[in-house]
Structure 1
Amino acid sequence: MVSTTDPAPMLRRFGTADVREVFEVQLGFDVQAAQLAAMRRTDVDLRRLRSLLAARNHATAPEEFARADADFHLAVMEAAGNSVLLECYRFFVGRLHDSLHALRTQDVIQESGAEPHDALLAAIEAGDEAAAAAAAAAAIRPSLNALTEQFRVS
């Protein structure tokens, strides 16, 4: 069955979402993708994830970091092997990139760092769905929690 719902309002909302909302959506996407990637990843996926994670962990400039982080998370989504989830994320990843860049440029919110991302890749490699989901959440929660607190203060 083909949906008759017009996607335009959703697509416009992605474009105007605040950074906290973007991270809330990323949490949902990434936890699901991590679990699926742990089940379905291939050797090719693992090589690509290792390379992208190394680039992410060595990125320093805001634009370089935003692109590298978004690329890594997109590759996890690709490894998940769910075409519907992937298409949603392909649209979303541009907004994620912009949010990461804004956070890095403003230097207001600290991101989670390399450790949870390293744990995410290790769990995907091991095929451990629960650990992959936990690591994906741990990669996003610090920024999301800080953003949530910041919105409470504002």
Structure 2
Amino acid sequence: MLPVPYDVTTAITTHLVLSDSLTEDVFVELGYHAADPYALNARFSQGDGPPSTWLLARDLFAQGLVATQAAPAGRGDVRIWRDEDPDYLLMTFRGVAGEALIAAPAEPIERFMEATRAIVPFGAESERIGAAVDAFVESLLTA
């Protein structure tokens, strides 16, 4: 497949919260493809271990930037909210092996989300998908 021309990416050092006084650094790469406008990819890696990749709803992150711990964004395996310290975003991820709490600096995530909005504004995702489907059908009919 050809690369999507309007990708947005960022790399962030976050913190896996093990206790009130103990954290471990976790490297996170966020990626967004305009061809898949509702989703973003989050790839977590730590040390020499295998990375963990999650496909997440873009609006989950947008909502999480303004959510509180009392009313976090998300209802299932992923929840996101602003920390009491507004410079941080907190995220919980639940999987078969347990639950992880990640503390991330909010500013790079805010910049990442703004860059995705510049490419595909919220509410315009279906137009982007519709145009891609139309172009694909056209290519089949003219081949």
TM-score by length of 2: 0.32
Larger RCO, structure (CA 8 Å, separation 6 or more): 1
Higher helix share: 1
Higher-Rg structure is: 2
TM-score by length of 1: 0.31
